[in-house]
C-alpha cells in the first residue's frame, strides 16, 4: 500500500490554520490523492472508477475538516498509472469534498509538480 491518510494530514493543517487565523490561506498538497484510511474503510488504490453513486457513498464516509476560506493547490496526482477518466473522477470527488465539506476552494488539481498561483 502506498496510499496516504490525506484526511489526517488535512486535520493537521486545520490546526495550523486555526492558530494562525489568516484570511487568505494557501494550502499546497503534494500527493497522489489515493486516500487509504482503514478506519473509514476507504482505499482509493483499489478503485479503477468512481461513478456518481460511489462518489456519494465515499463522501458520506469522509469527515468534514474546517478549512474555510482556504485555497487548495494539489500537485502530483496519480495519473500515469490510471486513465484520464479516473483522473477526472478523482478530481470531482476531491473538489466536492474540499469545497462542500471543508469550505475550501480548489484552485489546482494537477499531476504536475509545477506550481502556478
In this predicted structure, what is the pLDDT of residue 1? 47
Tell me, yes or no, whether 1 lies in a domain: no
User: Residue 89 sits in which domain range?
Assistant: 6-110
Predicted TM-score (pTM) above 0.85: yes
Integer Cα distance of 66 and 94 in angstroms: 15
In this predicted structure, what is the pLDDT of residue 113? 76
**What's the number of domains the chain is made of?**
1
In this predicted structure, what is the pLDDT of residue 73? 95
Q: Helix (H, G, I), strand (E, B), or coil: what is residue 28?
A: strand
**pLDDT, tens digit (0-9, with 9 covering 90-100), for 24-82:** 899 999 999 999 998 999 999 888 899 999 999 999 999 999 999 899 999 988 766 77
Whether 88 shows a pLDDT value over 90: the answer reads: yes
Whether 115 shows a pLDDT value over 80: the answer reads: no
Tell me, yes or no, whether 117 lies in a domain: no
Phi, psi of 37 (to 5 degrees): -145, 95
In this predicted structure, what is the pLDDT of residue 111? 86
Tell me, yes or no, whether 115 lies in a domain: no
Mean pLDDT value across residues 69-98: 90
Question: Where do the H-state alpha helices sit in 1-117?
Answer: 6-20, 52-61, 84-96
Tell me, yes or no, whether 116 lies in a domain: no
Amino acid at each position: 500500500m502506498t496510499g496516504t491518510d490525506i484526511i489526517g494530514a488535512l486535520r493537521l493543517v486545520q490546526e495550523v490554520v486555526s492558530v494562525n487565523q489568516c484570511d487568505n490561506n494557501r494550502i499546497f498538497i503534494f500527493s497522489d490523492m489515493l486516500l487509504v484510511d482503514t478506519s473509514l474503510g476507504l482505499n482509493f488504490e483499489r478503485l479503477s472508477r468512481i461513478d456518481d453513486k460511489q462518489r456519494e457513498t465515499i463522501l458520506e464516509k469522509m469527515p468534514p475538516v474546517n478549512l474555510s476560506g482556504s485555497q487548495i493547490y494539489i500537485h502530483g496526482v496519480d495519473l500515469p498509472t490510471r486513465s484520464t477518466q479516473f483522473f477526472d473522477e478523482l478530481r470531482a470527488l476531491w473538489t466536492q469534498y474540499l469545497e462542500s465539506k471543508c469550505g475550501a476552494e480548489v484552485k489546482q488539481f494537477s499531476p504536475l509538480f509545477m506550481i502556478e498561483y
